[in-house]
Structure 1
């Protein structure tokens, strides 16, 4: 796993990312999603007019989507077998996550919610570190300084404020890096998100607000949350927003790249609505059959992002059977490693909860740790669970 930075110089005559996006920003009243690759796997424009079109990039995008889905499928099975306390599936949202992650630079900072497993993979986070969080053996799981992928946030919408504050600091330091906040359609109804939009707008923060509109906020459909297209909320706060086909990995990559170019240039924040679908349950504690129709699920299944790109890779001659077999083998190997690693994961010592409360030692925490241990020593055998 490596942190991807797939931005490449534009080929002669090919439109730049920002130029390709400009018509959609200029006409925000049109609620159509930006699309470069149709559900049938055909390019909307010729390759030479498609921003970011690169066969090597397409293969990388396909590989990461397949591997991420395999990880997600394995983690879901592990939870059903009692190995994890909870699991929020990303199934159906691979293109939105992988396409956007590949647009990031290594020095950009990512602020995820709790479903961005594919982004974590693309940023170099070990899947077993993600598993540790949902197995309950850690309160975090990975070091954000190593990957610039910050910790998962289960409190809906609160991390969008964190991303905005971090972006403001990046601008003050003149680093040239950007922050990206990932959240769902339901989070846009939270006050924290509205506050983040306000702060980002008035301070021209270099932050991309990346909303994965997967149509459902747990059991609440998106049409019960707002009137009109979701991306238009950005315009009320004074910055641009667009809707992209979230199952079109090529379009997501192009739009996110353009959005990052916009914020890096000092133009303030940018809102991306990736129009996609949550194929599975909200989490493994949820039963989506109680609130959505089978016909709806099947309609979106026909727009599967992985199948779409595979058809294009095959028809265009950019990939053949040996490549697809290699990817499948990599996906299986990761799934096996995750299963073995999860089952062999040791429980932490009971006092580990006091570790990493502060970056350095703290007298009060040390006192509380000693009181905790003394309580356990008070039992006859000196041990208790």
Structure 2
């Protein structure tokens, strides 16, 4: 969680400095992401992220330079290998990753390898039609998929209570005949247990689970957003008092699991990780221009080939 916090903070600074073009912060959601990400079996499960799952990437060991390369605009979806990391490409289409996860889960069901898909989405995305279609199909076929909703209180600037009919995302699961649980998304241990239980249900053939992790986006929706225009400072301060990293550190101290030397070492490690990511991003060069054309269609059209030829001629002038 500390590495996630440090890299997230550094990414915001890099955007302000012009090193990366844009960024979607996740401060406050570290427990939800780390707790669920470390529960996955990297030999057979697969995670389908949105554009805010840096913490899941950290938990799953994804190359963070490759992850943040997506925000440089040099490669869509990140430069890491999704197949090797079991972490899908960054998906900026609201609720798009949910459909992908259900399709993958159907394949896993047919293969019988025990793999489970975990798809991440927010409270705002839960109101998209694709989520309902995905849950319906998953419920009918009892697919091995976990729908992990991070309810961070805001669909950009729209409060969750103004766009979630019925009050909860987890409550909708019953309509599709699947399990639904609402948990404290700021309690990393509670998230870990809930995700493990959902994975076990899916592997046993008992179908999907909707996990609604109640948390809070402490920062802006993106680096182009000003949360002060739609929420109060009092509300932010209330949630900051429940910071997931601070509360877990307090728990570790109280239970005698970690001492101050541990926290100092962990903080130093997190700072080194953030510095390494920054240096790695700064060292990345431009991608070959041909990739603009080579990765559009499996079988390039005549028009695309003509465009590529025209581009090649213009670059040689």
TM-score in same-fold range (> 0.5):
yes
Q: How far apart in 2 are the matches of 1:98 and 1:358? A: 35
Q: How far apart in 1 are the matches of 2:314 and 2:13? A: 38
The answer on 1:69 being equivalent to 2:8 is no
Q: 1, 4, 28: which one pairs with 1:92?
A: 28
Shift of 1:376: 3.5
Q: 151, 154, 168: which one pairs with 1:216?
A: 154
Q: How far apart in 1 are the matches of 2:220 and 2:281? A: 22
The answer on 1:147 being equivalent to 2:115 is no
SS at match of 1:350: coil
The answer on 1:101 being equivalent to 2:26 is no
Q: TM-score, normalised by structure 1?
A: 0.79
Deviations 1:54-76 (A, max 9, x none): xxxxxxxxxxx001110100001
Q: How far apart in 1 are the matches of 2:115 and 2:294? A: 31
Q: 188, 205, 210: which one pairs with 2:126?
A: 188
Shift of 1:356: 3.5
Q: How far apart in 2 are the matches of 1:154 and 1:79? A: 18
Q: How far apart in 1 are the matches of 2:198 and 2:311? A: 50
SS at match of 2:290: helix
The answer on 1:287 being equivalent to 2:226 is yes
Deviations 1:248-278 (A, max 9, x none): 0000000010011111111111100000000
Structure number, greater radius of gyration: 1
| 5+ residue gaps, structure 2 | none
Deviations 1:127-152 (A, max 9, x none): 11112100111123221110110001
Q: How far apart in 2 are the matches of 1:234 and 1:110? A: 20
The answer on 1:305 being equivalent to 2:244 is yes
Q: How far apart in 2 are the matches of 1:367 and 1:209? A: 43
Aligned counterpart, 1:125: 62
Q: 307, 313, 316: which one pairs with 2:255?
A: 316
Q: How far apart in 2 are the matches of 1:329 and 1:345? A: 25
Q: State how many pairs are aligned.
A: 313
Shift of 1:369: 2.0
How large is the Cα RMSD of the aligned pairs?
Answer: 1.4
Shift of 1:188: 0.6
Q: 93, 98, 111: which one pairs with 1:160?
A: 98
| 5+ residue gaps, structure 1 | 1-64
Aligned counterpart, 1:174: 112
Aligned counterpart, 1:338: 277
Q: 115, 120, 129: which one pairs with 2:52?
A: 115
Q: How far apart in 2 are the matches of 1:171 and 1:369? A: 41
Q: TM-score, normalised by structure 2?
A: 0.95
SS at match of 2:182: strand
The answer on 1:261 being equivalent to 2:164 is no
Deviations 1:339-385 (A, max 9, x none): 222222212233232244456x75745554223212444xxxx2xxx
Q: How far apart in 1 are the matches of 2:297 and 2:255? A: 53
SS at match of 2:25: coil
Q: How far apart in 2 are the matches of 1:294 and 1:304? A: 15
Deviations 1:109-141 (A, max 9, x none): 100011000101111211111121001111232
